[in-house]
Amino acid sequence: MTAFSLAKRLRAGETVFSGWCMMGSPIVAETIAREGFAAVVLDAQHGLWDTGSLVAGIGAVHHAGSAPMVRVPLNDFGMVSRALDFGAEGVIAPMINTAADARQFAAAAKYPPLGERSFGPPRAMMLQGQYADITEYLAACNTGTITLAMIETPEALANVEAIAATPGIDALFIGPYDLATSLSAGKAQDINAPEVDKAIDTICAAALKADKIPGIYCRDAARALDMAKRGFRYLTIGSDFSAVRDSVAASMKTLNVARGNTKDPF
């Protein structure tokens, strides 16, 4: 497994599709990685990961040939550098609403001179390769790891250009469900609503204008392909929960049809 493979692919202009894991299970994350995703996100904001499972999950994804990523909990900038120390190649921070939030995120993720990340990455170096010259490693980390600032509120939308322009922020990542919820003041969660659709293009354009990577969470592969056509280059697809649920629901449907049971439990 090449070190910093995700950053290399994204910085070379590739469009990258990523798995998404919430169950807190390293073996599930590894199973998803082995299907061929370039990256797999371990979601520690809404998912069930604790510190121990995160450490094991990052190793499992890396050894399966995919780039491990972590979404950290809300405002948990300590976990940003911790996830990178565990060997994550990318960190997603939710609800980055202002340029000040973005600066705090970048400070935790990047070593000086770009940020203020504290040094202590023995596990990450084990996964990413030892560097004879430590300053070479510091520089390699700053370009080799990816910071994704989540845009998911009207406030973030108003500040999107300043967030995108923040040094040390590599990508904008849209959370369409929170964006739809907040743009409708909690009245709906319609990710296809015209104001959400317009915001999606605005955020993509802001990322491109600042020479940053536009990214978005997608519920399935069809939507990810649509979003890639609209310019997004980092796309996550569904989750381990939805994959298991959809697969079991499909089996139940087949069984119910075969038995003439029209009452679909789902």
* Residues annotated as part of the active site: 46
Binding site for Mg ion (CB under 5 A): 152, 175, 178
| Dihedral angle computed from the Cα positions of residues 77, 83, 89 and 91, in that order, rounded to the nearest 10 degrees | -30
Asked if residue 240 binds ligand 3PY (CB under 6 A), the reply is no
Among residues 7 and 149, whose Cβ is nearest to Mg ion? 149
Among residues 59 and 175, whose Cβ is nearest to ligand 3PY? 175
Q: Which of residues 151-210 bind ligand 3PY (CB under 6 A)?
A: 152, 175-178
Cα–Cα dist 104/142, whole Å:
15
* CB-CB contact of 253 with 35 (8 Å): no
My answer on whether omega of the bond before 113 falls inside 30° of 0, hence cis, is yes
Shortest distance (Å) from residue 152 CB to Mg ion: 5
Shortest distance (Å) from residue 181 CB to ligand 3PY: 8
Asked if residue 217 binds ligand 3PY (CB under 6 A), the reply is yes
Among residues 3 and 93, whose Cβ is nearest to ligand 3PY? 93
Shortest distance (Å) from residue 174 CB to ligand 3PY: 7
Residues 208-247 as b or e (16 or more Cβ within 10 Å = b) = eebebbbbbbbeeeebbeebbeeebbbbbbbbbbebeeee
Tokens of 167: 């040094």
Positions in the binding site for ligand 3PY (CB under 6 A): 152, 175-178, 217
